Structure 1
Amino acid sequence: GIQPRVAIDDRGTVHLIYFRGEPSHGDIFYVRSTGGGGTFSDPMRVNSAAGSAIATGSVRGAQIAVGGTGLVHVAWNGSRSSGPGSTPMFYTRLNDPGTAFEPERNIMRGEYNLDGGGTVAADRSGHVYIVWHANAPGERDEGKRRVWIARSADDGRSFDRERSVFDEPTGACGCCGLGAFADRRGGVYVLFRSAFEVTNRDMYLLASRDLGEHFSGIRIDRWNAGVCMMSTQAFAEGSSGLFTAWETEGQVYVGRIDPRTGTVSNVVAAPGSNRSRKHPALAVNARGDVLLAWTEGTAWNKGGSAAWQAFDAAGRTNSEPGHADGVPVWGLVSAYARPDGGFAVVY
């Protein structure tokens, strides 16, 4: 399998999803580990319609979130084999016995031209958020794309109708993924790349302090280029705070989010001079150390390698950097903190 995505619940269970099959129309599988990742359960297929997931581009794959009760939520861009019409934004959740996933539902009802990957976030109080970017009816180009959110207050049993969350005309980078996260205080965050006037491919952080009802937004990084970066983002939370990571000009960065202001500070770059870095992943251990992982050398239809660096809570490197070959075509990295305080990188 490829494109692993990991979430850890409050009991320390590792929940992992991955893609398997043809990149344009494959399947998502789920496994879990109660031993910190030493052994995993037998795989369980997530999507009920065979071939309804996509891995092409590394930005459209499945995303996972775990709620406060340990309920697993998965969202993904549907493949073109999912059915006629516009590409769907699928969501499903694990059933109450934990034996199977419910049939997926298309959460996107009023927009079209879904491209870069959507995502899912969940909090400890039963709120689930599906977030994506797309065009409203009658709008066509990247500069008119908007970020949309659909919210659930009952652990994903039902969702309200989606709505646009940011009024500024930033657009959204069409073939870039976006990230979302629900923190321990009820805050909701979205990180996406703009496409204003074609060349303004900047990173924007949106923050809500009222369960996704209202969002404010700030630009946290700039990138002037008239191409689509096919980038992805990451979030992680731990005792040392809430962190986010992104890519700019072939480098990956991590910064701490202030939940009171929605601003990002203590931004540090991955060490070294390599400028082919993409697809960051984050994890925070019990000591508050932060692991930043990423890919190097990956591109369209091209694999590469995995790399990582650990930082202390102040952003200082506290270990030697790591590197491993073997990230496959359309591959990604993911990371999680182990019970012994170490980290695991999955690719």
Structure 2
Amino acid sequence: MRTARPNSPRPIRCCAAAPFWAAALLVMVLLASALASTAQAVAAVDAPAVKTLRVPDRGIFPQAAIDSRGRLHLMYVKGDPMAADAYYVRSDDGGATFTKPIRVNSGPESVIVTGTVRGPHLSVGRGDRIHVAWMGSSKAEPKSGKLAPMLYTRLNDAGDAFEPQRNVGAGHPGLDGGGSVAADADGNVYVAWHAPAHPGKSEGEEGRQVWISRSQDDGKTFAPETAANPQPNGVCACCGMRIYCGDKGRVLILYRSASQAIHRDIQMLVSDDHGKSFQVAVADPWQVATCVMSTAACTSVAADGGRSLAAAWETTGQIRVALLTAGATKPTVMMSVPGDGKSRKHPSVAANSRGQILVAWAEGTGWNKGGTLAWQLFDAAGKPIAGESGQAPGIPVWSVPSAVALPDGSFRVIY
């Protein structure tokens, strides 16, 4: 009788299981690929398009803005940089095409852009009316004796020409670095500049003051100028400045002070009473014994209805960025643009409806020397977004970049 042997397990053959493991591996690979594609798609959605545009008609010193209807308004300069003309165009398709140019200055060759700190500024006001202010050239009218005047004009009611230019700083002429203009949706228009406190007297940079002239009727009339800086600390003579309107009567001024010849700090002045009084929100120090010929920029952050402001300026050859939230008198974020770029100057800043902020600037520019365009994208918290930066060659002599955010969240940088 044969003794029964216990049942022995059959050995598992790898070849029999191969289809199962191969299928599982294939599923894992496909899943990983899908996740990667999804991540890339999300990143693509989160990172808006940044498109660069050249200034039309080979112009320089672009100044761009977006109005309440999403239209792009652009001003640029042509001609002799010591005695040039400014031109205005509009685009209804994000910069793909522009209208026929309209000359801004009624007096020919009354614009100066030499030094890059003296060009005209543009702002959009009530009813999407365009307002422009600039430092007059030696050929400019109306004159202020032998001192450079602060000139202003606005687009007429028909929108087909600019009104005759006016000198809104007759009481304190003597610009060196250029002035600035800001307008809001309530009909307020502000023109700011720096000039000697006592015209005609030789008091140097420490005797210069920031002045502001205000209009409450869309620029039809202006009140006499008043001093804006609460504590006189001089002004870096050949540095530009910027004025900007925020929400609910908030007005911001950026300028560079000059005391004891070496203290050339950026001063951020903030007003919450329509520019009647200001307090210092930022004093970003820089000890340097020469005029640095810097400019500054500011914009509203649309994600919170324009109540917050983003500003940018140059310090020690780098670009600094600050976020000022609604009602705050000090920035919630202040940092330098990342990277190892050298000689970074002339920033422009724009913010889209998601709160993302684009900062563009020039690198390597100097006296009678062009340079390179560079930019960096920041998230709504003010943190740089990795991989969302770029460069493009070809910023002309005496020119700057100008950044805007379109209604779809994308950005345009005009240079």
TM-score by length of 2: 0.82
Post-superposition CA distance 1:26-65 (Å, at most 9, x none): 0000000112222110100000110000110000000000
More helix as a share of residues: 2
Q: 2:210 aligns with which of 141, 147, 152?
A: 147
The worse-fitting range, judged by mean Cα deviation, of 322-331 and 139-148 is 139-148
Q: How many residues of Structure 1 are paired with residues of Structure 2 in the alignment? A: 347
Partner of 1:132: 193
Post-superposition CA distance 1:280-328 (Å, at most 9, x none): 0001111111000000000011000100011111122224311000001
Asked if structure 2 preserves the Cα contact closer than 8 Å seen for 1:187 and 1:259, the reply is no
SS at match of 2:139: helix
Partner of 1:168: 231
Partner of 1:85: 146
C-alpha distance in structure 1 between counterparts of 2:407 and 2:216, whole Å: 31
- The answer on 1:99 being equivalent to 2:167 is no
Give the C-alpha shift of residue 139 in structure 1.
Answer: 5.4
Letter in 2 for 1:320: E
Give the C-alpha shift of residue 69 in structure 1.
Answer: 1.1
Unaligned ranges ≥5, structure 2: 1-58
Letter in 2 for 1:346: I
Letter in 2 for 1:122: A
- The answer on 1:206 being equivalent to 2:273 is no
Asked if structure 2 preserves the Cα contact closer than 8 Å seen for 1:305 and 1:327, the reply is yes
- The answer on 1:254 being equivalent to 2:321 is yes
Asked if structure 2 preserves the Cα contact closer than 8 Å seen for 1:61 and 1:77, the reply is yes
- The answer on 1:183 being equivalent to 2:237 is no
C-alpha distance in structure 2 between counterparts of 1:29 and 1:228, whole Å: 29
More strand as a share of residues: 1
The worse-fitting range, judged by mean Cα deviation, of 149-158 and 272-281 is 272-281
Give the C-alpha shift of residue 109 in structure 1.
Answer: 1.4
TM-score by length of 1: 0.97
C-alpha distance in structure 2 between counterparts of 1:338 and 1:111, whole Å: 38
Letter in 2 for 1:49: G
Q: 1:52 aligns with which of 110, 118, 121?
A: 110
Letter in 1 for 2:323: R
- The answer on 1:314 being equivalent to 2:378 is no
Give the C-alpha shift of residue 342 in structure 1.
Answer: 1.4
The percent identity for this pair of structures is: 48
Partner of 1:343: 411
Which structure's CA Rg is the greater one?
2
Letter in 2 for 1:152: S
C-alpha distance in structure 1 between counterparts of 2:276 and 2:179, whole Å: 19
Asked if structure 2 preserves the Cα contact closer than 8 Å seen for 1:9 and 1:68, the reply is no
CA-based RMSD of the aligned residues comes to: 1.2
Unaligned ranges ≥5, structure 1: none
- The answer on 1:33 being equivalent to 2:75 is no
Asked if structure 1 preserves the Cα contact closer than 8 Å seen for 2:117 and 2:238, the reply is yes
Letter in 2 for 1:41: T
Asked if structure 2 preserves the Cα contact closer than 8 Å seen for 1:147 and 1:165, the reply is yes
Letter in 1 for 2:149: P
C-alpha distance in structure 1 between counterparts of 2:326 and 2:382, whole Å: 18
C-alpha distance in structure 1 between counterparts of 2:230 and 2:359, whole Å: 32
SS at match of 1:264: coil
Post-superposition CA distance 1:110-147 (Å, at most 9, x none): 22321011000011100000000000224521011100
